Amino acid sequence: MVTYRTSMQIVKDLLTVTEESGASGINVTALLTKANLSHSRLSKFVENLTGAGLINKIEFDGKNTFVITPKGKQYLESYEKFQSLADSFGLEL
């Protein structure tokens, strides 16, 4: 049986990968690969995440790099706590 990720799980994956890349950020190609998304889906998520202030897009020499913001780290921390709570009750997010 194929299981699909929810939008919340994809956001968590994107923020986790971005956070793991550190202060230098992550480029689009690496983000596509590590988050396992198509370019069109990634573009929609990145637009939402930058709009919400969870990641910053840094444009340099025509290339985009993404860095997680403190607000993004806080979101990720809260998500992981909530996921842990849901798991303790046997619920899936």
Contacts of residues 57-66 at CB distance under 8 Å and 24 or more positions apart, as own/partner, are 58/25, 63/27, 63/28, 64/27, 64/28, 65/24, 65/25, 65/26, 65/27, 66/18, 66/21, 66/25, 66/26, 66/27, 66/28, 66/31
Mean pLDDT for each consecutive 10-residue tract of the chain (93 residues)?
88 96 93 94 96 95 93 96 94 81
Residue 36 tokens read as: 């396992």
pLDDT at 83: 93
Residue 8 tokens read as: 């919340």
pLDDT at 60: 83
pLDDT at 86: 93
pLDDT at 62: 85
Q: What are residue 60's phi and psi, to 5 degrees?
A: -145, 125
pLDDT at 17: 96
Strand partners, 67: 56
pLDDT at 64: 92
- Domains in the chain (CATH in brackets) are 7-86 (1.10.10.10)
